[in-house]
């Protein structure tokens, strides 16, 4: 009974999920996966002022568990690799000396998956040189996110492996370093997806709100908290608390 009580009282490292940052209304698309850059800066300032320490999944893998207890660690993640991550996110990371993890689609130049599926506006992805500049700064870690952003559970095992492995090979060759984490596109996956991610040597598989509450409960289905255009500052403050959404754990 005591162990169960301690389990629910322990504080987890929040993993936040972003996609696009914008600085004018022309960049608003059909999907609400954007956040105004001014609001994002307020969030960074709040984290800084309240002694949060941004880390990457490589950092997490290397930090001994006993050293995590008294630190306010948090992980900021951005999916797809939009150009605005370079234009708007990167300057703020440098300004506040904070880190982020970007999950990069490697065989597309823009958000083709959304344009074709829903008629979304075209938004460019960052270039190879922009990716390298961010990586070399030491503030940005890149993770796998497939070649073309498919719904993995609609693919055969062979097709899934191709999408995940070829993306990993390209990014590791480009960056000259091992990838530590892979984010499932759309947060959609199956047990085959998880098996492949583990077999390919990733240390973490990153989900959306379907993951376990505590990272160590399932390293290949890590829960994230979505931060989008409708998130007020008061909601943001609640979401970065380590026990956010406890009643929804699975």
In this predicted model, what pLDDT tens digit does every residue of 82-129 receive, in sequence order?
Answer: 999 999 999 999 999 999 999 999 999 999 999 999 999 999 999 999
pLDDT of residue 10: 55
Residue found under tokens 């800066």: 41
Residue 86's nearest CA partner among 123, 43, 46 is 123
pLDDT of residue 222: 96
- Contact in structure between 77 and 224 (CB atoms under 8 Å): yes
249 inside domain:
no
Q: Which domain holds residue 119?
A: 13-241
The three-class DSSP label of residue 205 is strand
4 inside domain:
no
For strand 73-80 and strand 100-104, is the pairing parallel, antiparallel, or unpaired?
A: parallel
246 inside domain:
no
Alpha-carbon gap, residue 103 to 157, rounded angstroms: 21
- Contact in structure between 226 and 17 (CB atoms under 8 Å): yes
248 inside domain:
no
Residue 247: which pLDDT band, with cuts at 50, 70 and 90? Answer: very low
- For the chain, the first-to-last Cα distance in angstroms comes to 19
CATH code of 162's domain: 3.20.20.370
Q: Is 97 left (phi over 0), alpha (psi -120 to 50) or beta?
A: left
Higher pLDDT, 136 or 5: 136
Residue 69: which pLDDT band, with cuts at 50, 70 and 90? Answer: confident
- Contact in structure between 42 and 233 (CB atoms under 8 Å): yes
52 inside domain:
yes
- Residue 162 reports pLDDT greater than 50: yes
5 inside domain:
no
Measured from the Cβ of residue 234, the count of other Cβ atoms closer than 10 Å reads 8
Please tell me the total count of domains within the chain: 1
Alpha-carbon gap, residue 107 to 81, rounded angstroms: 11
1 inside domain:
no
pLDDT of residue 70: 82
For 118, 152, 226, the CA distances from 112, given in Å and listed in that order, are 10, 16, 22
Residue 16: which pLDDT band, with cuts at 50, 70 and 90? Answer: very high
146 inside domain:
yes
Alpha-carbon gap, residue 131 to 95, rounded angstroms: 18
């Amino acid at each position: 009974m005591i162990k169960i009580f301690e389990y629910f009282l322990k504080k987890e490292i929040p993993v936040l999920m972003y996609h696009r940052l914008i600085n004018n209304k022309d960049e608003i698309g059909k999907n609400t996966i954007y956040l105004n850059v001014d609001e994002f800066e307020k969030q960074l300032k709040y984290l800084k002022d309240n002694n949060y320490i941004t880390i990457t999944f490589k950092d997490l893998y290397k930090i001994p568990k006993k050293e995590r207890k008294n630190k306010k660690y948090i992980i900021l993640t951005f999916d797809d690799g939009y150009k605005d991550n370079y234009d708007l996110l990167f300057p703020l990371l440098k300004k506040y000396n904070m880190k982020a993890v970007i999950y990069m689609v490697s065989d597309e130049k823009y958000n083709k998956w959304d344009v074709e599926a829903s008629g979304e506006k075209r938004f460019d992805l960052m270039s190879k040189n922009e990716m390298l500049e961010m990586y070399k700064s030491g503030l940005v870690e890149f993770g796998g996110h497939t070649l073309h952003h498919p719904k993995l559970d609609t693919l055969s095992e062979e097709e899934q492996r191709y999408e995940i492995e070829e993306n990993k090979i390209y990014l590791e060759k480009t960056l000259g370093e091992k990838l530590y984490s892979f984010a499932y596109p759309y947060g959609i996956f199956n047990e085959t997806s998880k098996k492949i991610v583990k077999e390919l040597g990733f240390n973490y598989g990153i989900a959306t709100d379907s993951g376990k509450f505590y990272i160590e409960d399932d390293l290949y289905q890590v829960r994230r908290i979505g931060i989008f255009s409708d998130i007020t500052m008061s909601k943001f403050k609640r979401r970065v608390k380590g026990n956010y959404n406890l009643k929804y754990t699975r």
